[in-house]
Structure formats: C-alpha cells, structure tokens
Structure 1
C-alpha cells in the first residue's frame, strides 16, 4: 500500500500537536494568574534568553541546598519580571483590598500559583538538585487573627519543607524563602 506525503503529514501533525510540539522548540509557556484569585490568566512564554538566564542562575546553586534556595529567589525574580512585561502592568507589593479584578495585580493565590508553576518548570527541566516541589500551603484562618495566606512549597533532601512567598514584594522582588514551620507562625497584621 502506497501512502502519499499528505496522508502521512496530517497524522504526524496531529501527533505533534498532541505532544505539545511547536515550531518554537524548547519554549516554555505558563498561564500567569493575576486580578486576584486567578481572575485573569495571561499566557507568558519564556524566551530562549530567559531560559538561558534562569538556567545560569540555577547552575550557580548546585553546590548546596542553601545555594539552590538563593538561586531560586533570583530565578523567581526573572520569571516575575518577564510575566509583568507580557501583562503590561507591574504588580504592587502585597495586595490592596478592593483592587480585585485589576489587571496585573496579584493576591497570594495568584502569587503562590504562579510560583508553584514556575518551580514545577524548574523541577521538570532538571534544574532542582537539592529540592522537590511540594503542595502549596496556607496559614491563617481569620479566627486566629490572620487573613488566609498561601505560598508555594519546596522539600529538601532531609524532608524539611520551605515556603516560597513572593507576595510581600512588588513584581520582580526577591521572594521570602524560609522554613515552612516558621512561615506558618508569621503573618499577623500583614507583617512578614
């Protein structure tokens, strides 16, 4: 049976689309949440320059878990700056009550979701040597005098959990990275 080029081409094209292959091989895209509670989701693609810069930053953290956490702080900055460049609005620090559905502004749900997705990208790209990504965590419940707050989480080789919280800084600021147990005790009066 003879198969023409066009008959073979269509199934290959469908197969490639299902696998997520595109003409921009190696591109990494995210749906970045903003507007509070992921009201808006803007597609953001890291350029080859972004990916190279992030890979270089992460390579500087290979020596130890502590060095890797410092590298993660810098890599998150690059990701946030790229995201706000695409969105067109720079996020202010923390959140302003009543500013929901404001394009570019992020509450802790947006921030922790975006950071979690970025950390999972680092993990899938083999850039995390000393940590794995855990489930996002929360603290505060109104009843304890704290507003509910969320953060992305890392687990080191010893099993220690680390919060990665970028909410307190404007877009592109270094996120807090601290032991999750310490992070859970904080947060009264919107203080770190």
Structure 2
C-alpha cells in the first residue's frame, strides 16, 4: 500500500507539472562538457539531448555585436532582462549560422528537415551563453540561477528543462526559455512560479 501511495503521489506531481531543481548552472556546464566557455572557444549542443557538440569561436566583431545588445548599464532589473533577451537572441542567430542549427523551430524535437535542438540542447546552450555574458560583466541586477525541470503533462506534454536567473534585489527567480521560440525571436524570460504553474509564456521585462 505504501509503494502504491508513493507512486500515486509521484504521478500526481508529474501531472501537476512539479518543478525539480537539477543543480547549478556551473554543474550543468560540467556535466555536459561545456565548462569554462569564452567568446573565442565554447561548445554548443544539438541533435537531441546534446548528442552532438560543436566547437564555436566568435570573432571580435561578432562578440561586439552581442555586447551592443547592452547599449548602456541597465537601470532596472527589468531593463537588464530585456537587454539579456536581445543578447541571447543575437547569440542564437550567430551560432546557428555557424553550426547549421539555424533552421530550429519553436518547441522543436524531431523535425522533418534541418538540424534540430530539443530543450536539453537549448538549456545547455543558454547556460553557456549566460556564463559568457556574466563573465563580461553584464549581469549586475541578476545572478546565474540553476537548471529546473518541469514534470510531464505540461508545456505540450513534454518534460521540460530550462535555466534560471535570480534577481539580486529580492531573490525573484526567472526562467529563460529559448526552446519555446523560433530561432531569431526573443526568448521568454518569465517568473519561475508563473512558468511552473503553466501560465502562458510571456516576457517579464
């Protein structure tokens, strides 16, 4: 009876979309062999579950293009999230062109054509990009958070995993989701609790 009750609780949590912390972003980068990235040398994941890792290098001009997503020091946490979303968008487009992952669609898994990245690929890549931007001093109002995984029966019936950032002033946690948008679109950055309870995707800038 105890075992059945435990299974029932686990299933209920999955149906409710429970969120499971899956470690720091530093540990995530280590786990996926993507630690210590720099603009001159980093790896990105693709082909579902990080089955393929591609070395990438940005030129000085390309990195400056990413940096221009921050036209000034952000005055508020919301403004910083807006600048961050644009920087991530630029990185995704640039890296996609370099690696062939420039046909990736929103919510992609197995596509009929072109290279694809699932939410694990996108999560690892976002963790790498956050480290690049953090090391460059662009995260002033936020700090890197962790990897979170959402249970089944939510977000199009997939288990889903994302990275987070934490607002320094009040501890509010925001998820960053690049998987839920087509390449070239701004990623979603939204309140973690709203995301976990399956509210519509939005951009909390």
Judge same fold: TM > 0.5, yes or no. Answer: yes
Show the 5 A alignment for 1:109-128.
Answer: 109-128=120-139
CA contact 1:137–1:152 (8 Å) conserved in 2: yes
Matched, 1:37 2:49: yes
Q: TM-score, normalised by structure 1?
A: 0.76
CA contact under 8 A between 1:154 and 1:163: conserved in structure 2? yes
Q: Which residue of 1 aligns with 2:96?
A: 84
Post-superposition shift, 1:178?
Answer: 0.4
Cα shift readout 1:153-189 (whole Å, capped 9, x = no counterpart): 00111111100001111222110000111111117xx
Shift of 1:104: 2.9
Give CA-to-partner distance per residue, 1:32-76, whole Å, 9 cap, x none: 101010011111112212221222212435211100000011001
Q: 2:107 aligns with which of 70, 94, 108?
A: 94
Conserved 8 A contact 2:39-2:58? yes
Question: RMSD of the TM alignment (CA)?
Answer: 2.5
| Counterpart in the other structure of 1:50 | 62
Report what 1:136 is aligned to.
147
- Deviation of residue 29 (structure 1)? 2.2
Per-residue deviation, residues 133-155 of structure 1 (Å, max 9, x unmatched): 11111112359994210111001
For the Cα contact (< 8 Å) 1:115–1:152, is it kept in 2? yes
Give the TM-score of the pair, scaled to structure 2.
0.71
CA contact (8 A) 2:143 2:166 kept: yes
Paired positions, count: 163
Question: Residues of 2 paired with 1:80 and 1:52: CA distance?
Answer: 15
Whether the 8 Å CA contact 1:33–1:42 is kept in 2: the answer is: yes
5+ residue gaps, structure 2, are 1-35
- Give how far 1:103 is off: 6.5
Name which structure has the greater RCO, CA cutoff 8 Å, separation 6+. 2
Q: Which residues of structure 1 form unaligned runs of 5+? A: 1-19, 21-25
Change (3 A) 1:124 1:43: same
* In the alignment, structure 1 residue 182 sits paired with structure 2 residue 205: no
Partner of 1:128: helix, strand, or coil? coil
